[in-house]
Structure 1
Amino acid sequence: MDGGTDSWCPSCRWNLDVYDPALAPWRGTRLIGRWGFRRGLEVDRATHAELLADPEVRSAGTSPAEVWLVVFSVVLALIGVAAAGHLAWLVMADDLPPGVRLVLALPAVLVLLLVKPSFGRVPRHGLIAERDAPQLHRLVREVAAAAGTPVPDLIYADLSINAGVARLGWRQRSVLVIGIPLWLMLPRPARVSLLAHELGHLANGDPLRVRRTLPARTFGARAVAATGGRNPWRRALHSANSMAEQGSGTVVLLGIVVQGLLALVNVAGATAQLLVDSVAMPDSRRAEYRADLIARRVAGSRPFLQSSETVLLADRVWQDLWHLAPRLNSEQLEPTAAESLRHLATHLPLARQLSRRTTDLWSTHPSEDQRMRLIEELPDVDGIIHVDDTRWAGIDAELAPWRRVAYHALLGTRDRF
C-alpha cells in the first residue's frame, strides 16, 4: 500500500512501522521526526506489555517525568515572581529616567507573559443543566460511579468532533465537554464508552496532573506564538527584504537585528517545547491507555472498539452529512450518520494503519490502531453499564436542541462556500 512515500502491506502489515515524512507530523527536521516516530513506537510497545500483563494497573504515583515537569514549573514560577519584583522596583525607583525604566521593564513584561499562570476558562455557552437533561446527568453519574470518580461539576456541549474533560477556572471545577457531532455519529453503546473514557481521566487524576505542570508544558509554545509562530527564519528573511526595499541602511540593519533576535527566541522556544513534550508525552499516552481500560471495563470491549472506529471515520461521515444536509432534517442526522458509517466500513483497516504512521512521540494521543489492538488482545468483557432503548430515547429528546444546533451548523458551513 502506498499512503505516502513508503509502501507497506495492509494484509501482513509489512513495513508499516516505518517513518514516512509524507504522513508523520513535521517536527522541524527529518532526523528529529524519525527519532520521535521510533520513540513513540517504543513507548507504545512498552506500555502494551505492561498493561497486557496487568490491565487493572493504576498509576504508580508521581513519575520521574512529572517530577521533572513540576520542578521546571516551580522554577518558571520563581522567575515570574522575580520579574514581578523587578517591575515593582522600577515603579519605586524615582532616580531612573522614564526611558531607562521602559527599557528595563520590557524584558520583565515579556517574562511575565510567558510564565503567567493559566487556570483555563469555563465555557460561557453550551451548559447542559441537570434540569434540562436529567436522564443524561443520571447516565453520567452512573458512569462516574462505575469508573470510580466523582461526578463532573459541569457538563457542556459544543460542536467539535471530540470530547474532553478538564479542570477549569479559579475554582478548578471538573468540566465534561461532549462534542455533539461525535455523539450523533457514535452507536449508542459506544456513547457510554466515550463517557467512561473521559471520566476515566478524572479517575486517574490526569487533568490535575496536567494543570500542575502547565507552566512547563506551555512555556515554549507561548514563546513561539509570541514571536510569530512557525518558519521564523523565512519570516525574518522576508521582513529584511521588505525593509531593504523601503528603508535606509540604518533602519534596515536595525530591522534585521530585531528580526534575527526574534527568530533566535522562536527557535529556542520551539526547542524547549520539543524537549518538554519529549518528557511529558509518554505519560500523556499512558494516561490515554489507562482511560481506555476504564472505558473497556465500564462499557465493554465491543462498544470501545465501536467508538474508536467512529473516531477514525468521523471526518468522512461529517463530510457526508455536509453534502446531504439540505435534504435532511435534524432528526435524520443520527440514522444518516449510522448509514454512512456502514458504507465506510471497508475503509477501516487502512484508516487504522494510517493512524500509526501519522502519530509520533509528541502526539497527545496514541494512534487509534495501537489503542484498539490493546483492547483486542485483552479478554472480551461485556461492561458494567447497559442502557436500554427507552432511556436512550429520553436522552435523545433532551439533546434535541443541540441536534438542531449541529444541523444548523452544517447548513451554515455550506453557506460559506
Structure 2
Amino acid sequence: MTEVTGTAGTAGTAGTAGTIGQQGQGRGGDEGGHAGGEAKACPACGERMPVDRRFVVWCSACGWNADPSDAAPADGGTVDRMRRRMAQRYGEQLFAQLAHEPDEAAAPGPGASGAWAVALATAVHGFTVALLALGLWLLIAGWGEGLQPVLALLPLGLAAVLRPRFGSLAQVKRDAPVLERADAPGLFALLDEVAGAVGTVGVDAVVVGAEANASVRTYGLRQRRVLRLGMSLWATLGRQEKIALLGHEFGHYAHGDTRQSLWVGSALRSLDTWSYLLAPNDGDTLMDQLVNVVTALPRWAVHGLTLLLDQVTLRASQRAEYLADSSAARAAGPAAAAALMEGLLGADGAVTALEREVVAARTRLGGAAARREDPADGLWDRIATRMAAVPDHERARLRKVAELRGHSVDATHPPTHLRYRRIAASEPRTARVVLDEARAATVESELAGAAQAVARQIMRDGRMQ
C-alpha cells in the first residue's frame, strides 16, 4: 500500500508526553498523587512552580528541569541523521518564508526539483527492470547450459523484492477493521465535507487501529484512498480537533507533494529496501567482514542516491506539510488546529496509558480494568479521561521540550514547535466545518463496533496492530 500523506503524527520523542506515573527526576511514582494547588520555589530562579506528582516539576520562568531526560531522537543511522538535519534546516527556512504568505497560498509547481526527482526515481525503477531483464536472460538464454539458470535466481529475486507495491483493500482487512460507505454513512458524509472544504475528495474506506496516529494512503492500481484512524489519538480529541486532524490529512491531497507520489514514493521505498539488504553485518567473523567490504561500495551508492532524492524532494514535502496544517486551520479554525498540534506533542501519553491498561488486564491487577469481565469495555473512554487530566503546565513543558530538541514527527517533517507557532499565530477565522454534538454522536456510534473490535484485539494480543 502506498502511503500518500505524512502522518499528522505521534510526537514520539517530545519528552515524557504527559505520561502519568512514570519515574524520573522531578516526578512522583503514584498515579493517584495529584497535588493540586501545591507549589515550591525554583532552585534556579526562585519563582514559584506548580507541583503535580504525576508530572515533571519544572519552572516556566527560567526553564529549569523542563527536559530532565535530555534524550536525543533515536539514531536511525547515517541517512536518518542527515535527513533530520536537512528537515530542521528546510523547516526553519520555510517557517520564515511562509510567515509572510497567506494560508491560502498555493503550492508551487514541481519545477526543476520535481523533474530531478522523477528522473532519479526513474533510474531506481530502471535498475529494478534491468535486474528483471538480466534474470530472464540468464534463465532463458542459458536454459540447459549448466549454472546460468541457477544464477538467474538472484537478480529475479532482487527484482521481486524491489518491485513497486500497490497494495489492496483485502490486505488491509486482514489486519484491522475496515469501514466502507455503506457501513458508516454519517462518518463518510463528514469526511466528504472536510475534504471538500480543503479542496479535494474523500476516501473509499476507513481503517480503525489502536495507535496514536492518523494517515491517508492509497491502494491498488487506481490509487483509491483509505483513511487510517488510530483510536488512541481520535478518542482524545475534541470535536473541532477531529475536524482539524481530518483537514490536515486531506490537505496533503490539496497541495502537491512529489515525495508522496506513486512514482517517487515507491522509488524511496525501494531505496530503503536496498539499505536494509546492504546493511553491514555486526558479526566479527572473517566472512562477516568480507561481506561488509564487498557491499560497502553499493551501500554508500544507495545512501548517496537516497540523500540526493531527499535533497530534491524534502523542501517541497515540508512545504506541503505546512500547507496541510493550513488546511486543518481552514477546515476547523486556527484554535482547533493549534490545539490538535499541542495534543500531538502529548500523544506518547495516550500510548503509555494504553500500555498500562493492557498490563492491568493481562495481569489482573487492581483497578477498574481488573474488575470488569471484559477490560476492552470503555477502553478508549479511559484513555481520553487520562489525557484530559494533563494540566496546562505539563502541556507548556511539552512545547518547550519540542523546541529544545528540535522535535519532529519523523525525519522528514518540519519541527513540531514551528508548526505549532505558525498555526497559533494565524488570523482568527470561522471554521468551514463544525461538528456539532448530535453529528459527533452519530459518527462515534458508527465507529463504535470497529473501535471495540480493536480494543478487544489489543487486550488479547497485548500489542498494537
Range of TM-score over shorter length:
0.7 to 0.9
> CA 1:138 to 1:44, structure 2 compared with 1: closer, same or farther past 3 Å?
same
Aligned to 2:316: 283
Compare 322-331 and 183-192 and name the one that shifted more.
322-331
**Identity of paired residues, percent?**
27
Q: In structure 2, do the counterparts of structure 1 residues 111 and 21 end up closer, same or farther at CA, with 3 Å as the change threshold?
A: farther
| 8 Å contact kept, 2:208–2:454 | no
Structure 2 CA distance, aligned partners of 1:322 and 1:100?
A: 53
Deviation at 1:335, TM superposition (A): 4.5
More helix by share: 1
Contact 2:135-2:154 within 8 A present in 1 as well: no
Which runs of 5 or more structure 1 residues have no equivalent in the other structure? 241-251
**Which of 95, 108, 120 is the matching residue for 1:48?**
95
Instruction: State how far apart, in whole Å, the 2-side matches of 1:349 and 1:53 are.
Output: 26
Given the superposition, is the C-alpha separation of residues 46 and 403 from structure 1 closer, same or farther in structure 2, using an over 3 Å criterion? same
Which residue is 1:294 aligned to?
327
Q: Residues 115-154 of structure 1 correspond to what in structure 2 (within 5 A)?
A: 115-122=162-169, 123-124=172-173, 125-154=176-205
Q: Tell me, yes or no, if the aligned pair for 1:37 and 1:361 is still in contact at 8 Å.
A: no
Q: Against the structure 1 CA distance between its residues 321 and 94, is the aligned structure 2 distance closer, same or farther, given a 3 Å change threshold?
A: closer
- For 1:120, the aligned partner's letter is G
Deviation, structure 1 residue 13:
7.6
Map 1:112-191; keep pairs closer than 5 Å.
Answer: 112-113=159-160, 115-122=162-169, 123-124=172-173, 125-191=176-242
Distance 1:351 1:166 in 2: 29
Greater RCO (Cα-Cα under 8 Å, separation 6 or more) = 2
Q: Equivalences for 1:227-306 in 2 at 5 Å?
A: 227=278, 229=279, 232-233=280-281, 235-237=282-284, 239-240=285-286, 256-262=289-295, 264-306=297-339
Three-state SS of the structure 1 residue aligned to 2:225 is strand
Aligned to 2:402: 355
**Alpha-carbon separation, structure 1, partners of 2:255 and 2:188:** 21
Q: Given the superposition, is the C-alpha separation of residues 360 and 170 from structure 1 closer, same or farther in structure 2, using an over 3 Å criterion?
A: same
Question: Structure 1 residues 262 and 47, CA, compared in 2 at 3 Å: closer, same or farther?
Answer: same
Higher mean alpha-carbon deviation, 89-98 vs 45-54, is at: 89-98
* 1:15-54 mapped onto 2 (5 Å cutoff): 22-26=71-75, 28=77, 33=81, 39-54=86-101
Distance of 1:112 and 1:10 partners within structure 2: 55
Partners of 1:330 and 1:139 in 2: CA distance: 27
Provide structure 2 residue ranges, at least 5 long, that are not aligned to the other structure: 1-14, 17-57, 362-367, 370-374
Q: Judging changes above 3 Å, is the alpha-carbon distance between structure 1 residues 406 and 306 closer, same or farther for their aligned structure 2 residues?
A: farther
**1:301–1:116 Cα change, 3 Å:** same
SS at match of 2:208: strand
Count of residues in correspondence between the two structures: 386
Residues 120-129 or 162-171, more deviating: 120-129
1:371 counterpart letter in structure 2 = R
What's the TM-score, normalizing by structure 2?
0.72
Q: Distance in 1 between matches of 2:76 and 2:208?
A: 33
